[in-house]
A and B are shown apart, each in its own frame.
Chain A
Amino acid sequence: MSRIQQLFARKKENVLNVYYTAGFPALDSTLRVLEALQANGADMVEIGMPYSDPLADGPVIQQSSQVALANGMTIAVLLEQLKEMRSRIQVPVILMGYMNPVLQYGFEKFCAEAAAVGVDGLILPDLPEYEFVTEYGEMVRKHGLDFIFLVTPETSEKRVRRLDGLSSGFLYAVSSSSTTGSEKNMEAVDAYLQRLKSYDLKNPVLVGFGIKDKNSFVSATKAANGAIVGTAYIKTLEENNDVNSSTAAFLKNMLE
């Protein structure tokens, strides 16, 4: 059982997955942020690999990516920073990024090295189903990584079931068709999550996009196994560069 599967075997509701951008706010803050998130109650962490053209992300995450790139963050640097993380980090760690930098690094080499440092899963939003099935899925599986697909309120039931079948770890339910960091109508989100729940899917469901505080977290997790928060946390780090105090305050506000 993978580390992500173990988490969901142990905890079936209110799972909190926090996203942040590697190399933000400082090049060497990656591990400090990860430790602070674990220490303050995050169940799982999603580390964004910065890219110059992040299509699925809104302005806040794009801005943090640009800062990280200017700081010198690359896939090679990130994997080096994460090398010793498993001596201190027990929570599941997922890498999120876009195809182009991963292709340049070498897709299989990336999977092998990520798995070797203790990464548990991947989210690559612009890797399509067809290419996953015909080319890349095998490499992901070979190295024991979970792969998480996204679904949206517009995704048909048939397609949700297919993407659930291809995913392992969990399924990422985007709360509405939008980029990250947009405002959401929580009632519509709830109806959508109830619908997903009624499908009785293979994977647990985490909802993301538009989760920013305790209210949206509680509301989002009524019908899902948990939620992913990103933009709101990046904003907090932007306002207060002291990783420990800003992370503690942010998670206290989310969880208590």
Chain B
Amino acid sequence: MKTSYKLPNKEGYYGKFGGAYIPEMLHPNVEELQSRYLEIMQEPSFKKEFEEMLRDYVGRPSPLYYAKRLSAHYQTDIYLKREDLNHTGAHKINNTIGQILLAERLGKKRIIAETGAGQHGVATATVCALKGLECIVYMGEKDIERQAPNVARMHMLGAKVVAATSGSKTLKDATNEAIRDWINHPTDTHYIIGSVVGPHPYPDMVARFQSVISEETRKQLLAKTGSELPTKVIACVGGGSNAAGMFYHFLDEASVDIIAVEAAGMGLNSGLSAATTALGKPGVLHGSRSIVMQTDDGQVVEPHSISAGLDYPGIGPLHAHLFASGRGIFLSATDEEAVRAAFFVARNEGIIIALESAHAFAALDQLTLSKQDRVVICLSGRGDKDMATYMKQMTMTNQL
């Protein structure tokens, strides 16, 4: 039997990537999750509540929208999976709903999370408010300054936002601080990681919660086209949670091209980039073996992307395996290409998309597409949070 790309082995490895590279202080927390996550997720009462919450609270299924004008422009068929229409405006809520239900069943009273741009922080603060649980969100000091509206949203939802002041004061350091908090609270706290990164079982657990994206897509495509399968699925990748969800149920379908788009920042060779597979090497970051942007001496480097959600020097081990095995096609889009794509989508489809998602759309210009193609793009989030960046662009080009 051919092994599935979807599932890690017992130790949490996808090929050579994954595992749980954690200090002993984290062992009780991580082992509890490893031994219980599958059992809890398979309980009928869990499944029922998860499905109800996704339907009645998040607003799922999210539509699969045939993008007529984009399709005409690229002379192919393009469908958008509208994760931007979820409650809180992005795919992140699929995972936080799943993890809060899991945390409840583990008897945890205190929730911690890391956030970069604040989307995962808001999605975590949201589910904590919903369940009446204490919520502490770690956020880099620099990101707190850059993302004031999301910081305010988290405060309004009752979360405590703690500034990560160590290291480079961004997402990577917020993650370090959240892990340290977890080390210091070995029994009462659940850490809701926002992406398919971290020690086993997080990459698998988060991928399963996000896999609803591709599960719905198959049904919706079947209803619209008579076939469950697209020819290509495209998603942006930072840590890679929306991509994991978009790819999941297509990974073992050999006819479907899996296309991941990383953030090239100012350009792959500019020194200001976040294209991990293009620039990184195998290494260990935040508890798993994956591909990591680092110096020759193994120090993790600070990445750059205009999109805070893609501004991460690693990538989930599932994606590292898709890259290394050749199952996934990894492209990258620069800041400029992403902004251009965002304006193109706004003016051709009437949708203001998040900067993260814009990277996936920018990849359309790099692909050879034909009339036989059926392309699904994961529209992972809406662009409200990025209006400051878009306004700057319009000011520069005299459109404001």
Q: Could you list which residues of chain A lie within 8 angstroms of chain B, going by C-beta atoms?
A: 51-53, 55-56, 58-59, 62-63, 66, 69, 74-76, 98-105, 125-128, 130-131, 149-152, 154-155, 159, 163, 174, 177-179, 182
State the Cβ distance, B28 to closest chain A Cβ, in Å.
4
In the complex, B362 has a CB within 8 A of chain A: no
Are B297 and A104 in contact (CB-based, < 8 A)?
A: yes
Task: Give the complex CA separation of A75 and B24 in angstroms.
Answer: 24
Q: Which of B272-297 contact A (CB under 8 A)?
A: 281-287, 292, 294, 296-297
Residue-wise, chain B 12-25 has the 8 Å CB interface mask toward A (1 for contact) of 00000001111111
Q: Which among B19, B166, B172 has the greatest number of chain A C-beta atoms within 10 A?
A: B166
B interface bracket (residues with beta carbon within 8 Å of A):
35 or more
Question: With contacts A130-B19, A154-B186 known, is A104 near B24, CB below 8 A?
Answer: no
A residues in contact with B285, CB < 8 Å: 53, 100
B residues in contact with A99, CB < 8 Å: 21, 284
A residues in contact with B176, CB < 8 Å: 53, 55
Q: Which of B41-89 contact A (CB under 8 A)?
A: none
In the complex, B27 has a CB within 8 A of chain A: yes
Question: With contacts A126-B284, A154-B186, A178-B25 known, is A55 near B179, CB below 8 A?
Answer: yes
State the Cβ distance, A63 to closest chain B Cβ, in Å.
8
Nearest to A151 among chain B residues (CB) is B24
Are A53 and B183 in contact (CB-based, < 8 A)?
A: no
Question: With contacts A56-B183, A66-B167, A69-B299 known, is A131 near B21, CB below 8 A?
Answer: yes
Task: Give the top 8 A-B pairs by smallest Cβ distance, nearest first.
Answer: A104-B298, A101-B298, A177-B186, A125-B23, A150-B24, A56-B23, A74-B297, A52-B299
State the Cβ distance, B92 to closest chain A Cβ, in Å.
23
Q: Which of B230-272 contact A (CB under 8 A)?
A: none
In the complex, B180 has a CB within 8 A of chain A: yes
Are B292 and A100 in contact (CB-based, < 8 A)?
A: yes
In the complex, B104 has a CB within 8 A of chain A: no
State the Cβ distance, A160 to closest chain B Cβ, in Å.
10
Contact of B23 among A62, A150, A159 (CB under 8 A): A150
A-B contacts, 17 listed (Cβ < 8 Å)? A53-B176, A53-B285, A53-B286, A55-B180, A59-B166, A62-B167, A100-B284, A101-B299, A103-B284, A125-B24, A126-B23, A128-B21, A130-B20, A131-B21, A152-B24, A163-B24, A177-B184
Task: Give the complex CA separation of A150 and B183 in angstroms.
Answer: 14
